[in-house]
Amino acid sequence: MRVFIALELPEPFVDDLAAVARQLAVHVAGRYMKRDTYHVTLAFLGEIDEGTLRAALDAVDEACAGAGPIPLRASGLGRFGAPSDATLWLGLDPVGELTRLAEGVRERLGSHGVPFDKKAFRPHITLARRARIAGRPLPALAFPCPGEASRVTVFRSILDSSGATYKPLYTVELA
């Protein structure tokens, strides 16, 4: 199964993100993500088996023990890829609590022998894929109001022709 570990976003933050995406869609063509897919990936594991999943759940429990809610503050738009075929995202300030959580999850995964994508952690929320970003400036956008996230979830990602569907497998509430 294809798996990732993510910080879930609070509903008011998701509402604001959906409004940003609607504003962007008027100016930037692309395949916009559904609001129920917004998250911050802490670690992408890829294809794993049941035994590796059990070890990943243990790692998540250990990494989240004692962690409190994570502050969320938008830092601006960014993209991965070429302007003609980009992934468009909203960045988050890499505040200490968020960075420590991601590092803790990755460290605990490593100690349990769970393989994961080792790309540097860059806190962001994907808004659109296959975006075609023109050279003209975007209008002023009202970014989400600051918030706090308090759920770390292990998701299964199921891919089909319409995109990805995320199924929660395990959730830890941050105290």
**pLDDT value of position 120:** 95
Chain position carrying tokens 């911050």: 40
User: For 71-114, how does the pLDDT look when each residue is reduced to its tens digit (9 = 90+)?
Assistant: 999 999 999 999 899 999 999 999 999 999 999 999 999 999 99
Q: How many CB atoms lie within 10 A of CB 137?
A: 7
| Residue 33 buriedness (CB in 10 A; 0-12 / 13-18 / 19+) | buried
